[in-house]
Amino acid sequence: MIVKRGISDLCTFSLLRTLKRISCDSNQRNLFYLNFNSNTCRAQETFLPLTNLCSKRTYHLNCNNKNKSYFKIKMKDYQMISMYQNGHSLEMKQCNHSYSKMAKIIDGKRIAQEIRGELKQKVTEWVAQGHRPPQLTAILVGEDTASQTYVRNKMQAAKEVGIASQTINLPTTITEDELLDKINELNDSDLVDGILVQLPLPNHINERRICNSVSCEKDVDGFNEKNVGRLCLDMNTLIPCTPLGVQELIKRENIETFGKNVVVVGRSKNVGMPIAMLMHADGRNDTSAMDATVTICHRFTPPEQLAVFCRLADIVITATGVPGLIKADMIKPGACIIDVGITRITDENGKAKLVGDADFDNVRKVAGHITPVPGGVGPMTVAMLMKNTFIAAKNLAGHQRPESPVSNNSSNVSC
Reduced to 3 states (helix: H, G, I; strand: E, B; else coil), residue 146 is helix
Q: How many CB atoms are closer than 10 A to CB 366?
A: 25
Among candidate residues 68, 76, 11, the one with its CA nearest the CA of residue 43: 11
Reduced to 3 states (helix: H, G, I; strand: E, B; else coil), residue 341 is coil
Q: For residue 334, what is the DSSP state?
A: T
Positive or negative CA dihedral for 127, 129, 132, 138?
A: negative
CA angle 183–185–190, rounded 5-degree value: 115
List 77, 221, 286, 357, catalytic entry: 221
List 135, 182, 193, 198, catalytic entry: 198
Q: How many CB atoms are closer than 10 A to CB 348?
A: 5
Question: In the Cβ-directed half-sphere of 272, how many Cα atoms lie within 13 Å?
Answer: 18
Task: Tell me if residue 101 is catalytic.
Answer: no
Task: Tell me if residue 74 is catalytic.
Answer: no
CA separation for the pair 172, 330 (Å, rounded): 44
Burial of 56 (0-12, 13-18, 19+ CB in 10 A): exposed
Question: In the Cβ-directed half-sphere of 66, how many Cα atoms lie within 13 Å?
Answer: 9
Reduced to 3 states (helix: H, G, I; strand: E, B; else coil), residue 240 is coil
List 77, 154, 193, 387, catalytic entry: 154
Among candidate residues 248, 232, 189, 231, the one with its CA nearest the CA of residue 387: 248
Task: Tell me if residue 221 is catalytic.
Answer: yes
Write the DSSP string, 25-39.
-TTS-EEEEEEEETT
Q: Catalytic residue numbers? A: 154, 198, 221
